[in-house]
Amino acid sequence: MAQHAVDFEEWYRGAHPRLGTSLALAFGDVNLAQDALDEACSRALERWDRVAAMQSPTAWVYTVAFNDARRRLRRAGLERRILRSRRTESVQPPAGEMWAVVADLPERQREAVVLRHVGQLLEDEIAATMGITRGTVSSTLRAAYKSLRIAIAEPVDVGESR
C-alpha cells in the first residue's frame, strides 16, 4: 500500500501544477479550478490502484476535475438565479495577451487549446477528458487555431492617433 502512495505522490508532484493551470485557464476561475482539482486528486488517491493502471491517469483526473468544475458552475448559476447575486473571479493570463485571446474562444475550443498546450495532452487524451471523439478534437483545434490566427491578425486600437 505504501508503494502506491509514493507513486501517487510522484505523479501528483509532476502533474498537479499543470493540471491546476489548465483548469484555471479553461474555467477562468482559480478557486473553482483548485476546488475541482482537489476533489479529482482525492478521488484518484482513493482509487490509485485502478487509476495508476490506466493508460493516462492524468487524463482521468482532468476528466473528473472538468466534470466537477462544470457541476459546481451549474450549481453556482442556480444559486445566482435564486439569490440574484453575481460574483466573478477571473484568472490573469499566464503568458500575456495571447491567453486573453484564447479566453475569447468558444468554451469547447478554449478547453481543447488549454488541454493541448498547457496540459500537454495528446488528442486521444483530450478526447477522453472532454468526452468527445478524437476527430472532434482535431476539428475543434483546427477551428480554434483559425479563430486565433484571425484574432491575432486584427489591428489593435491603442487609442493613439497617427
Enumerate residues 6+ apart whose C-beta is below 8 A from 47: none
pTM of the model: 0.55
Average pLDDT over residues 4-22: 87
What is the pLDDT confidence band of residue 47, given thresholds at 50, 70 and 90? very high
Percent with pLDDT over 90 in the chain: 46
Do the beta carbons of residue 110 and residue 148 sit within 8 Å?
no
What is the pLDDT confidence band of residue 80, given thresholds at 50, 70 and 90? low
Quickly tell me which residue has 488517491 as its cell.
Answer: 45
E-only strand ranges, the chain: none
What is the pLDDT confidence band of residue 52, given thresholds at 50, 70 and 90? very high
Domain ranges, residue 133: 2-153
Burial of 16 (C-beta count, 10 Å sphere; 0-12/13-18/19+) = middle
More confident position, 81 or 85: 81
Q: Which of 12-16, 36-40, 84-88, 158-162 has the lowest mean pLDDT?
A: 84-88
- 61 pLDDT exceeds 60? yes
CA angle, 53 then 57 then 58, to 5°: 165
Other residues' Cβ atoms within 10 Å of the Cβ of residue 153: 7
| Domain assignment of residue 158, yes or no | no
- The three cell numbers of residue 109 are 475550443
The pLDDT assigned to 5 comes to 46
The pLDDT assigned to 129 comes to 84
C-alpha separations of 65 from 44, 156, 159 in Å? 10, 36, 41
Tell me the per-residue pLDDT of 87-117, one tens digit each, with 9 for 90 and over.
Answer: 444 545 555 567 778 888 898 898 898 888 8
Count of domains in the chain? 1
